[in-house]
Amino acid sequence: MLVLASSSPRRKELLTTAGFSFRIHASAIPEELRFTEDPIAFATRLAREKAEAVYSELHMLDLPDDPLIVLGADTIVVSPEKEILGKPKDANDAARMLRLLSGQTHSVVTGVAVVSRDGKEIASELTYVTMSTLSEVEIDTYINTGEPMDKAGAYGIQGYASLWIPRIHGCYFNVVGLPLALVNRMLEGTEARLRKEATTISN
């Protein structure tokens, strides 16, 4: 049984579109940056903590013939000045973030963690995103749509802001919130190890 440790509608949509069968059980891990953490360490730690917390809550559902596998993920945007941009606190914060990204190339990091009785696997994906120069009118209009308010970096590449992204270098789905090719490889590896374990026990 695959469980997504996130309530993100974008991650849910990506997994569904890719054909995964799963259930959702969101974690309540606080997304607070530690003093010495770089962006990749921050994203991977949060992904791991989310997956571990949900696995701990649901471990009683881990059955021999239907092993529990928990997928955790966390996506962050890093400005050209290396500031980690989470979800904006308010409209002013969203405008500040968009001004930082306007006319620049920034990076997007997603940490991914897969936790099962086999152990845990942790990885990350990095994508570079170039954004067109935005006018203050464009920024204000975009913020008034409400789209930026629940998104890291105050924009969603799959929405209205797609008009301002002339190029990316790396995985597009990573910017949406879940690098599907990486996730698929990690899940396939975990499932293979669990099948081998089950075969060994039965023999």
Q: Which residues are catalytic?
A: 74
Q: Give the whole-angstrom CA distance, residue 45 versus residue 111.
A: 8
Q: Up-side HSE of residue 2: CA atoms within 13 Å toward CB?
A: 19
Q: Up-side HSE of residue 87: CA atoms within 13 Å toward CB?
A: 12
